[in-house]
Structure 1
Amino acid sequence: MPPLSVSVVVNTCDRASVLEDALRGITALRYAPLEIVVVNGPSLDGTKAVLDRWAGRIKRRDCAERNLSVSRNIGIAAAAGDVVAFLDDDAVPHPDWLSRLLRHYDDPAVAAVGGFTIDNTGRIFQARKTLCDRFGRAFHVSDFFDERPLNRPGSPLYPSLLGTNSTFRRAALRAIGGFDHSFSYLLDETDVCLRLVDAGHRVVYEPTALVFHQFAPSHIRDERRIARTIYPSAVSKAYFVMRHGAPASVTRAAEALDEYRGELLASNLWHQTEQLILPEHRASLDQDLENGIAEGEDRARQRGAAPGGDLVEEAEAEPFRAAERLADRLCICLVSQGWPPRAEAGIARWTESLATGLAARGHQVHVVTRAETAETLRFTDGLWIHAVLPEAHGAEAMMLAHDLPPNIAAWTRRVWREVQAIKAFGLDLLSFPIWDLEGLACLDDPDIAVVMSLHTTYALARPHKPEWLARPLYDHFMVRRMIAAERRALLAAPTLLANSRAIVADIEDTYGIRLTRDRIALAPHGTADLLADAPAPRRRPGFRILFVGRYEPRKGFDLALAAAAAVLREEATVEFRFAGGEIDEEARAVMEATGTSALQDDPRVRFLGVLPRTDLEQAYREADVVLAPSRYESFGLVAIEAMAAGRPVVAVAAGGLAEVVSDGIDGRLVPDGPGAAEGIAVALLGLARDREGCERLAAGARRSFEEKYDMPRMLDVVEAAYRAAVAKRRIGQAA
């Protein structure tokens, strides 16, 4: 038999900020055939613009009121699938969600199947197996509880599904009349489950069918999950109790409503006592409660014994619209301890650009990064972000197996464990940077392809880190151990992703090894276009030079300071901006050593600190020249960001920078060595005094970006390298 077709219905209102992620999550489902139906309430935000972007890929319907049951019925009427699945607009399904739910429909008695739901932390269950009684009270039971015997008409307890993780046979929904419009919020799906059970159908749970409910504020609850109003839920509760509980016992129905009233009044008082709400807010909620209960009771009396569903079929049914599926989609995990905006270092920015670009091309992308406090898993902007903490438990074995320092072993252990969990999403490939060897424990994983990207290593950084060399014990137990581990990883990694030819040559020379070229994929970095839709730079007098980098010797901070002092002595109209670091004890020591402490008081010099990304991009656009005097860079991301803003670069001819910057075309290269500071000053003075020549280099910088370093080019090469790595692994498995 052909597989059942599924209509996934998303009911939304004023949730533009999260709706697109819900839709992206649905398109990542490993199930077909499916269609997507979106029912938009009276939204006032950007929801229409989101749906316009999805035109042709989804069915769109409108709901004129903020009533979830009305919206659900509109979705059912538009659905053409055998099964109707409901997903909230702030939720994302696991890729196997439908596959695991749909197998239960092999039993013709089953009319509804739901899974387990994980809350906004991505780590804690919001709902698992739940039973309800006929007074709308919920009871959470063991995951091993067998709910099937409760599926009998008239049962006092019955399985009740959570709306955001529920599926129903469309024929069964139509037979009971769909949803009851009196349930505008709360107990709507509970009412449907009860009516299905009473009609002789079965409602069952599938624990492995997961939905991640991320939570977004609404007209009902604010961002703290505190009620703005409880009127709709009070109406639903009273209506449910009087419709389903009162026929069996009016006395018990009254007791249930008194119990409900007492719980909510106590909750409102607690929120006021804890100063989470004002007295006026509490009074409003209390009044909502009384008014809602009265309205619910009145609606139940008016409804009487009439059937509970209000579904109205569409006059002309629209055919099933199958969602597009990408047959060659990869599931990719990228590892980077840093992640913007919290971290803006080169690897963090590169990983973010790569992740975002690959997700936009339809790949399922997971990012493992370091959490600030608690661990979380969230789906945002098309990316699964796994924020985790180093794990001391088990780190000893990692230390022994790979001879790693304790802190590195604790992080590597946690990365390894998270990668094992991500395999449940169908993981094809893991990519991690050589710095800190974050994915080292996965190098020999037989289930996935593994790529290690080449950046500055401990061995390449060590000559430019005087603070390391000044601490012999740290150098011995940390740095030299990491260098030895790096060498082993370089020899073992099945695929190496290099951002420049220079990094490959420098690694081979430094470690005394030969890297076979069939393991290397050369993928120069790309960056976003900083002139696309950007505000025009503000016109100003003078000549501005921008340094971007940490305030440390490896980034050439001392060279930049010395060159700045020399230039300012010669040209009064020149100004300097330093971005990317803080004036801390280390930076002050560099200033003292170079005799440039007076620059802090020079009005032509400003130390901007670590700038937010948008401010940094504007700083690039407002500069005349960007200074990149690093003593070692595996590539030189700052240089291509400058080029993306159409700004020439003055750089030291070391490492990858000598490969990225073309002297006389898009910038100036200064020989590395003792006279580097003087050479930088001469180059900067030359550009400040030759504005026409500077503009020619600026135009050349822009051409270099467009021809070599734009984002699509980088993504093309990296995507091809990842596909090749996956193919090689599959060939190896087959052999």
Structure 2
Amino acid sequence: MTPSVSVVICAYTELRWDDMRAAVASVLAQTPRAHEVLLIIDNNPELLARARTSYCAEPLVRVLPNAQAKGLSGARNTGILAARGEIVAFLDDDAGAESEWLAAMVGHYADGAVAGVGGRAEPRWPQERPTWLPAEFDWVVGCSYVGQPTSVTGVRNFIGANMSLRRDILARTGGFSHEIGRIGTVPLGCEETELCIRVRDVQPGATLLYDPAMRVRHRVTPDRIRLRYFVRRCYHEGLSKAVVAGRVGADAALSSERDYTRRVLPRAVLRGLRTPASGGLLRAAAVLLGLAVTTLGYLRGRLRAHPRQRIAPWN
């Protein structure tokens, strides 16, 4: 029997209104159908009122205010608590699910050992891909990147823009941590990494499955393809990883990152050096810059017990 799925979409700004509407529409068009769409509005009364008016006649959509701490983690937790489906899926408000998204997801839950399923997030560039941005750093814009699996396999954690977990397991973990994750435009992250690590703590042997057929298209705004944003995002990734390491230990927090740093990034630099005519030198330089800034953020974060509370964001 196909499990019921509650899809949580969190929004905080009217600037993404059209994207948000498209995200909801992409879920409503799925076969099989989602049990419900929970549209969680984070600390924006005007957006909340507008969304409630827009979806008042749509029975599958419930529009709710964030009832927890401001930020993405609190909004997602509000969705988890309100969800009625057996599975809770998370889709960003600027991402659109492909037509087979839900079907690819739910099929894996026939295996009782599968605690969660995540998928691929493909970038939707404002015009064309920036020449200088290495594909190994597409995580900077919230998308899948070179170094991730290319077939169905178990993983440590998912990309937050496209993930799902069993509701009962989410309840047992207590949901997303408020100490981690994005608040507004401050590009902190890693809340899904920390949550997925805790999933295995509460259910040893649980499988977190990545399926690239579970695809979404994630819009990349022009501000996110600038070098300034790249540097800020890498720095805050380091800060966020430091918080995760402080909570679950460095071994668990950096297990995937060690392989990525030792195996994926050196290949990216060498490939860039071999293709100077197509912007390879710029990409190689971006790899080295991204690694250095992320490491700086991590080291600075490890010096402080609570990076979010004690370290001012890099604006």
Give the TM-score category using the shorter length: 0.5 to 0.7
What is the CA distance between 1:121 and its match in structure 2? Answer: 4.2
Q: Distance in 2 between matches of 1:117 and 1:248?
A: 24
Q: Distance in 1 between matches of 2:47 and 2:226?
A: 22
Judged with a 3 Å threshold, the aligned counterparts in structure 2 of structure 1 residues 248 and 229 are, in CA distance, closer, same or farther, namely closer
Determine if the alignment matches structure 1 residue 174 to structure 2 residue 171.
yes
Judged with a 3 Å threshold, the aligned counterparts in structure 2 of structure 1 residues 226 and 61 are, in CA distance, closer, same or farther, namely farther
What is the CA distance between 1:240 and its match in structure 2? Answer: 1.2
* Aligned partner letter, 1:166: M
Judged with a 3 Å threshold, the aligned counterparts in structure 2 of structure 1 residues 30 and 294 are, in CA distance, closer, same or farther, namely same
Secondary structure in structure 1 of the residue aligned to 2:150: coil
| Aligned match for 2:217, one of 181, 200, 212 | 212
Judged with a 3 Å threshold, the aligned counterparts in structure 2 of structure 1 residues 232 and 47 are, in CA distance, closer, same or farther, namely farther
* Aligned partner letter, 1:89: D
Judged with a 3 Å threshold, the aligned counterparts in structure 2 of structure 1 residues 105 and 225 are, in CA distance, closer, same or farther, namely farther
- The residue aligned with 2:75 is 71
What is the CA distance between 1:197 and its match in structure 2? Answer: 2.7
What is the CA distance between 1:44 and its match in structure 2? Answer: 7.6
Give ranges in structure 2 of 5+ residues lacking alignment: 130-134, 140-144, 183-188, 266-281, 283-292, 310-315
Q: Distance in 2 between matches of 1:290 and 1:119?
A: 25
Determine if the alignment matches structure 1 residue 7 to structure 2 residue 17.
no
| Aligned match for 2:97, one of 73, 79, 93 | 93
Determine if the alignment matches structure 1 residue 163 to structure 2 residue 164.
no
- The residue aligned with 1:112 is 116
* Aligned partner letter, 1:173: L
- The residue aligned with 2:20 is 19
Query: What TM-score does the superposition give when structure 1 sets the normalisation length?
Result: 0.30
Q: In the TM superposition, what are the counterparts of 1:607-646 in structure 2 within 5 Å?
A: none
- Are the counterparts in 2 of residues 87 and 165 from structure 1 also a CA contact under 8 Å? yes
What is the CA distance between 1:293 and its match in structure 2? Answer: 3.9
* Aligned partner letter, 1:5: S
**After TM superposition, where is structure 1 displaced by more than 3 Å over at least 4 residues in a row?**
43-48, 121-124, 221-226, 228-235, 245-249, 289-297
- Are the counterparts in 2 of residues 179 and 188 from structure 1 also a CA contact under 8 Å? yes
- Are the counterparts in 1 of residues 197 and 252 from structure 2 also a CA contact under 8 Å? no
* Aligned partner letter, 2:175: G
* Aligned partner letter, 1:95: S
- The residue aligned with 1:49 is 50
What is the CA distance between 1:46 and its match in structure 2? Answer: 5.0
Q: Distance in 2 between matches of 1:223 and 1:235?
A: 21
- Are the counterparts in 2 of residues 234 and 296 from structure 1 also a CA contact under 8 Å? no
Secondary structure in structure 2 of the residue aligned to 1:159: coil
| Aligned match for 2:195, one of 186, 189, 192 | 192
What is the CA distance between 1:297 and its match in structure 2? Answer: 3.8
Judged with a 3 Å threshold, the aligned counterparts in structure 2 of structure 1 residues 48 and 209 are, in CA distance, closer, same or farther, namely same
What is the CA distance between 1:211 and its match in structure 2? Answer: 0.7
- Are the counterparts in 2 of residues 10 and 39 from structure 1 also a CA contact under 8 Å? yes
What is the CA distance between 1:65 and its match in structure 2? Answer: 5.3
Q: Distance in 2 between matches of 1:19 and 1:86?
A: 13
What is the CA distance between 1:224 and its match in structure 2? Answer: 4.0
Describe the superposition over 1:386-423 as per-residue Cα deviations: whole angstroms up to 9, x where unpaired.
Answer: xxxxxxxxxxxxxxxxxxxxxxxxxxxxxxxxxxxxxx
* Aligned partner letter, 2:219: Q
Greater relative CO, 1 or 2 (CA 8 Å, sep 6+): 2
What is the CA distance between 1:296 and its match in structure 2? Answer: 8.1
Give ranges in structure 1 of 5+ residues lacking alignment: 131-137, 149-157, 264-273, 275-285, 303-735
Secondary structure in structure 1 of the residue aligned to 2:178: coil
- Are the counterparts in 2 of residues 236 and 296 from structure 1 also a CA contact under 8 Å? no
Determine if the alignment matches structure 1 residue 147 to structure 2 residue 153.
yes
Secondary structure in structure 1 of the residue aligned to 2:306: helix
Judged with a 3 Å threshold, the aligned counterparts in structure 2 of structure 1 residues 248 and 70 are, in CA distance, closer, same or farther, namely closer
Task: Work out which of the two has the higher radius of gyration on C-alpha atoms and give 1 or 2.
Answer: 1
Q: Distance in 2 between matches of 1:50 and 1:223?
A: 29
Q: Give % identity.
A: 28
- The residue aligned with 1:567 is none
Describe the superposition over 1:450-469 as per-residue Cα deviations: whole angstroms up to 9, x where unpaired.
Answer: xxxxxxxxxxxxxxxxxxxx
Query: What TM-score does the superposition give when structure 2 sets the normalisation length?
Result: 0.65
- The residue aligned with 1:299 is 306
Secondary structure in structure 1 of the residue aligned to 2:124: coil
- Are the counterparts in 2 of residues 41 and 65 from structure 1 also a CA contact under 8 Å? no
- Are the counterparts in 2 of residues 184 and 232 from structure 1 also a CA contact under 8 Å? no
Describe the superposition over 1:330-357 as per-residue Cα deviations: whole angstroms up to 9, x where unpaired.
Answer: xxxxxxxxxxxxxxxxxxxxxxxxxxxx
- The residue aligned with 1:29 is 30
| Residue-pair matches, total | 245
Describe the superposition over 1:647-701 as per-residue Cα deviations: whole angstroms up to 9, x where unpaired.
Answer: xxxxxxxxxxxxxxxxxxxxxxxxxxxxxxxxxxxxxxxxxxxxxxxxxxxxxxx
Q: Distance in 2 between matches of 1:212 and 1:161?
A: 15
* Aligned partner letter, 1:32: R
* Aligned partner letter, 1:183: I
What is the CA distance between 1:102 and its match in structure 2? Answer: 0.3
* Aligned partner letter, 1:12: A
Secondary structure in structure 1 of the residue aligned to 2:198: helix
Judged with a 3 Å threshold, the aligned counterparts in structure 2 of structure 1 residues 53 and 118 are, in CA distance, closer, same or farther, namely same
- The residue aligned with 1:81 is 85
Secondary structure in structure 1 of the residue aligned to 2:121: strand
Judged with a 3 Å threshold, the aligned counterparts in structure 2 of structure 1 residues 13 and 226 are, in CA distance, closer, same or farther, namely farther
Determine if the alignment matches structure 1 residue 238 to structure 2 residue 237.
no
- The residue aligned with 1:373 is none
Q: Distance in 1 between matches of 2:84 and 2:251?
A: 36
Q: What's the C-alpha RMSD, in Å, of the aligned pairs?
A: 3.8
Secondary structure in structure 2 of the residue aligned to 1:140: coil
* Aligned partner letter, 1:162: I
